[in-house]
Structure 1
């Protein structure tokens, strides 16, 4: 009896709902448009996009709706860029361009998204297309120059950056990059070339092609080993450059103790090396690890974690003594990790040795205590542009661990190992 009464009431409620008058604005595209603009101003881009899509479906020939829908797609694209979802951003910018083909800004933004995704061929195509459509700004020539530069097309990069500089002579970012590339052109124009499936190499005439081939083989091994550890395999081909020591200092302006550099390209001073030594192989593994770490963390990574992971991979190939760390561990006078989050470039040779060894020791402890999965999770969290403390706490929540607690645990471990 009770069930029947409930059923009857349900039917009555359903009928009432079906015949309830629909609000007049629900099918009014103009009201939806105004509501969407309010949502856009409030930063509610997904909801605004949904409203404009519905409005546009009713009036697909309304130019105001068409332009506003394009703007909503642009805002969604920018949001995806901020979240490091570059291909999704490119898709949104493409929708915007289809709706408003006369607006070349959307094509430029699509080209920038492809550049950030390391799809340089697609980036160059889109940026040139936007230039042909009349978009001749500093930004578009700057990113076109970067796409050429990262593709190893130095002369084309210079050409694009010169145009950017002509439009904005006081732009320091453009000027600094242009100066850097011109130094590289001077050195690299006479280099030999080679490539493997994942790497392309330029090498000074002091190096032999057999050494270049051995370097490529070692890097292919590093690609698989580091990729297996961090479960990540970059898709773009990675440039590698072997310099004389003199040219390395000229191009990179690195400190005297620097044995290699990754700045989007792996750069190594090989001196008079004629064969692949264990030390050189360790440096290759070290520098390649930076490639993976920077892609996972989108460049937002503390130096101690970046260098610690690189040292971990390099020391699996060649593991020299850690005298500086052993000395400070006995008295507990470590460098604060907060001071190791920025560049090591200003450190003396002895300070740099301690910084690298201390970074390696903490990362080695992290891998043993928490596993590779959680270490990768820290990098992925950092790639979402959150703080180091938040990234660690989120990844190590199952261990009830935060940044300070992890460092304390490592110090306790070191105390047991070295005594005080």
Structure 2
């Protein structure tokens, strides 16, 4: 779906047919000025003028509609910045003016969905359906609520309806293809849960006691990771334990992948007979991704995301940094820009270096600048800042930016592993 959160409805015309007048207390003058400000992208100032116009003449429907639309524009801006609770508050103001407009309920429901505030999200999305009928957007986000709760069958039901309403939408068609792969495997799985996790597992190759032991490990790491990152997600995290064959089929991940987090923790552990320290590290690693997504709202470069996850996972199972040692001695580091989007396109040896380099850099940042500054950087990312500005803001008292951090880290690595050759 073409960026559902940012292309949901066509805003009504913000212009009125009124002519400007000289009286500063004239609501029509405030209205025209407010509309001009909105057109210039000055939404906050535009709202101030439109609020003044509406206070002076609340009976006029054009002034009322312009103000409601301005609140929606501000909500849309906040959605784009991933400030979901604040966006919901703006859409609520639009609803107060026009309680029967389904679009405002839809947008508020989307904001709550993305904020993982389930009950208000369900209410607003159902209100949108009640007032305006089904739409692909409302059905998609209702399905997403069920999917995030581990209710795959119910999610699929909503998404099938959404796809039928928008058959040419490539996002939805791709989603349905992925869901059918999941369903073919997960339909035969058993399920269990703890206070913070829901586990699904293939009983043919994953014993129940192993699944329950994995849940126990996750309950333990919940507190450890949460303490370091000052984040304790409230919603239960789904965990899927696959056979290796089914893991490749469902996730279509590279051969070197030993687990992933995409809203669910997915692990290929079929056939294991005990929880090893390696598996404990993988569980801790993947859960860390869930916490980072919660803090940053998905706005985190892969090198930092994987670096912090590796930092956590290596508390359980640590391995030598062989590829990184080679890179330090040759000076052949992978540029961070290449590691921002993902590791999937890298070759096997490069992947090992990517993980080791990301870990070493994240570990250096935490050891040198402290967890409190790392948490600030992640919070800045959650506010929608790009990584360079997020780091500059988090390390403002030290006068460092991303380039400065990378340079300090490389100098430290050379001291650790020896001068580079050549």
Equivalence for 1:69 = 67
| TM-score, scaled to structure 2 | 0.89
Equivalence for 1:393 = 392
Q: How far apart in 1 are the matches of 2:83 and 2:401?
A: 27
Equivalence for 2:17 = none
Q: How far apart in 2 are the matches of 1:413 and 1:31?
A: 62
Q: How far apart in 2 are the matches of 1:281 and 1:162?
A: 37
Contact 1:282–1:317 (CA<8 Å) still a contact in 2? Answer: yes
For 1:10-409, what aligned pairs fall within 5 Å after superposition?
Answer: 25-205=23-203, 206-409=205-408
| TM-score, scaled to structure 1 | 0.89
Contact 2:92–2:104 (CA<8 Å) still a contact in 1? Answer: yes
The Cα offsets for residues 229-253 of structure 1, whole Å up to 9 and x where unpaired, read as 1112222221111111111111101
Q: How far apart in 2 are the matches of 1:330 and 1:238?
A: 41
Contact 1:201–1:216 (CA<8 Å) still a contact in 2? Answer: yes
- Aligned to 1:156, the other structure's residue is in SS state helix
Contact 2:150–2:198 (CA<8 Å) still a contact in 1? Answer: no
Contact 1:120–1:151 (CA<8 Å) still a contact in 2? Answer: no
Once the two structures are TM-superposed, the CA of residue 55 in structure 1 deviates from its matched residue by 3.4
Q: How far apart in 2 are the matches of 1:334 and 1:288?
A: 28
Q: How far apart in 2 are the matches of 1:126 and 1:142?
A: 14
- Aligned to 1:202, the other structure's residue is in SS state strand
Once the two structures are TM-superposed, the CA of residue 172 in structure 1 deviates from its matched residue by 0.9
Q: How far apart in 1 are the matches of 2:407 and 2:86?
A: 41
Distance change >3 Å, CA 76–CA 191, structure 1 → 2 = same
Q: How far apart in 2 are the matches of 1:281 and 1:238?
A: 17
Q: Structure 1: which 5+ runs fail to align?
A: 1-22
Once the two structures are TM-superposed, the CA of residue 336 in structure 1 deviates from its matched residue by 2.1
Contact 2:95–2:101 (CA<8 Å) still a contact in 1? Answer: yes
Contact 1:25–1:32 (CA<8 Å) still a contact in 2? Answer: no
Please, what is the CA RMSD of the aligned residues?
A: 1.9
Aligned residues: 398
- Aligned to 2:370, the other structure's residue is in SS state helix
Once the two structures are TM-superposed, the CA of residue 135 in structure 1 deviates from its matched residue by 4.1
Contact 2:210–2:275 (CA<8 Å) still a contact in 1? Answer: yes
Contact 1:312–1:364 (CA<8 Å) still a contact in 2? Answer: yes
Once the two structures are TM-superposed, the CA of residue 119 in structure 1 deviates from its matched residue by 1.9
- Aligned to 2:153, the other structure's residue is in SS state helix
The Cα offsets for residues 249-274 of structure 1, whole Å up to 9 and x where unpaired, read as 11101111111100011111112123
Once the two structures are TM-superposed, the CA of residue 24 in structure 1 deviates from its matched residue by 7.4
Once the two structures are TM-superposed, the CA of residue 395 in structure 1 deviates from its matched residue by 1.7
Once the two structures are TM-superposed, the CA of residue 26 in structure 1 deviates from its matched residue by 4.3
Q: How far apart in 2 are the matches of 1:88 and 1:173?
A: 27
Q: Out of 353-362 and 53-62, give the one that drifted further.
A: 53-62
Once the two structures are TM-superposed, the CA of residue 287 in structure 1 deviates from its matched residue by 0.4
Distance change >3 Å, CA 45–CA 328, structure 1 → 2 = closer
Q: How far apart in 1 are the matches of 2:338 and 2:43?
A: 39
Once the two structures are TM-superposed, the CA of residue 127 in structure 1 deviates from its matched residue by 1.5
Q: Structure 2: which 5+ runs fail to align?
A: 1-20
| Runs of 4+ in structure 1 over 6 Å off | none
